[in-house]
Chains A and B, each alone.
Chain A
Amino acid sequence: DIQLTQSPSFLSASVGDRVTITCRASQGISNFLAWYQQKPGKAPELLIYTASILQSGVPSRFSGSGSGTEFTLTISSLQPEDFATYYCQQRHSYPITFGQGTRLEIK
């Protein structure tokens, strides 16, 4: 199984900050990686797929990059609504796996 390790697991930041979350895969997955945002009590929402393609309706302050085994999600200027938990997910091979999550909280 492909393991995804996110870092950090917890991040404290302020409105307006630029933040980066990293997702590392245990083996190469090309660009078959997606990012999701989940707010408490809600279902996850797709932000980015194929490593860098922004899902329709997602603000342009979100961006993704990477290929192979290392990927990043960047939020260029944090807004109050961005404080949530973020997950990466690989679709290179079954079983489909998610990272453990990065909880982003307000400093």
Chain B
Amino acid sequence: EVQLVESGGDLVQPGGSLRLSCAASGFTFSSRWMSWVRQAPGKGLEWVASIRQDDITKHYVDSVRGRFTISRDNAKNSLYLQMNSLRAEDTAVYYCASLYNDVTIFDYWGQGTLVTVSS
């Protein structure tokens, strides 16, 4: 059974940093592109970042580029999102998702972890 379990969400002050983790199991993690998708309270879905299997090719939405860094450790079956210079508008549930067949189709999702940016 595929499982994606996010952790690391917390309350953080504006300008602060946070690192999210996603532990994957039930599939060959090293063979999949992976992504983070977020959802602000009561709002729709927003793609944040994607990373290829090699931990080299990465894509980001403009609003987080330069502040967030997506990375992975294939030996640990883990995905990460380092978030710096956090803003109130980054408040959201952050989902880890796997991509199907090397294309941006999100076939498996974690349960999400809540990040709240507030003073």
Contact = CB atoms under 8 A, between A and B. Distances in A.
B45 A89 contact: yes
A44 B44 contact: no
A77 to B, nearest CB: 25
Interface in B1-60: 35, 37, 44-47, 50, 59
A99 B96 CA distance: 19
B110 A46 contact: no
Contacts of B112: 43
Q: How large is the interface on A (under 10, 10 to 19, 20 to 34, 35 or more residues)?
A: 20 to 34
B95 A101 contact: no
A97 B35 CA distance: 13
A100 B44 contact: yes
A44 B44 CA distance: 11
A94 B46 contact: no
Given A94-B59, A95-B47, A46 B105 contact: yes
A71 interface: no
Interface string A83-97: 000010101001111
Interface string B66-87: 0000000000000000000000
Interface in A24-49: 34, 36, 38, 42-46, 49
Interface in B90-117: 95, 100, 103-107, 109-112
Interface of B: 35, 37, 44-47, 50, 59, 61-62, 95, 100, 103-107, 109-112
Given A98-B44, A98-B46, A101-B44, 6 more contacts: A34-B106, A44-B37, A44-B109, A46-B107, A89-B45, A95-B59
Interface of A: 34, 36, 38, 42-46, 49-50, 55, 87, 89, 91, 94-101
